[in-house]
Amino acid sequence: MKANVRKYAVTVEETCQEMNREVNPSTRKAVAIAVIENPLRGEFADDLEVLMEIGAELGDVLGRKAVTALGIEPGEAQSFGKAAIVGEGGELEHAAAILHPRLGKPLRAAVEKGAALVPSSKKMGAAGTPIDVPLGHKDAAYVRSHFDGIEARLHDAPRGGEILVAIAVTDSGRPFPRVGGLLHEEAVGEDGLR
């Protein structure tokens, strides 16, 4: 691996009740995090190739970790998202290099299909900084019941020379979706939108 990983962390959030109502089946979101050394810390580099390669690796590793944590088959995944926090020794573009050019393809393989854009967010931050990983339906971005997010946070990362990378996968939408719009069951999932 190109990525020099200091640690992984995986969180699964399972919601059993909402406003005292039973959520059955419960909704579940997983977020898999890798904390890596930033190979370009402390310098301005025009060429970010090394981070793009790391992005491809982490799309695979974190995508599979999240799916495994949910205990589902790849095809049962319903929504996804990605995010990164760059420690103070790097720049915001380092997050873009990891997230955008090559991370998506292996992530889509991990969840099967994935015709939709993978929603994302990024920021600079210190250890303990939380980041909201946006969630959207993996095959049809306009499925309104699946617009959501999950917070990722590690108390000890990213340190100044590190980058925290997070991938979130769910097997469900929000607990009681009722603001209309396109439903999971209605999505065609071919153009990535509907």
What's the closest the beta carbon of residue 73 comes to other proteins, in angstroms?
Answer: 26
Q: Which is nearer to other proteins, 19 or 155 (CB)?
A: 19
Q: Which is nearer to other proteins, 64 or 127 (CB)?
A: 127
For binding to other proteins (CB under 8 A), which residues are involved? 18-21, 44, 46, 48, 52, 83, 91-93, 96-97, 99-101, 117, 119-123, 130-136, 141-142, 144, 147-151, 174-181, 191-193
Q: Which is nearer to other proteins, 63 or 90 (CB)?
A: 90
Q: Which is nearer to other proteins, 63 or 136 (CB)?
A: 136
**Tokens 């939108």, residue?**
193
Q: Which is nearer to other proteins, 28 or 64 (CB)?
A: 28
What's the closest the beta carbon of residue 137 comes to other proteins, in angstroms?
Answer: 11
Closest CA to 67 of 110, 8, 119: 110
What's the closest the beta carbon of residue 56 comes to other proteins, in angstroms?
Answer: 13
What's the closest the beta carbon of residue 190 comes to other proteins, in angstroms?
Answer: 12
What's the closest the beta carbon of residue 144 comes to other proteins, in angstroms?
Answer: 6
Residue type at 72? I
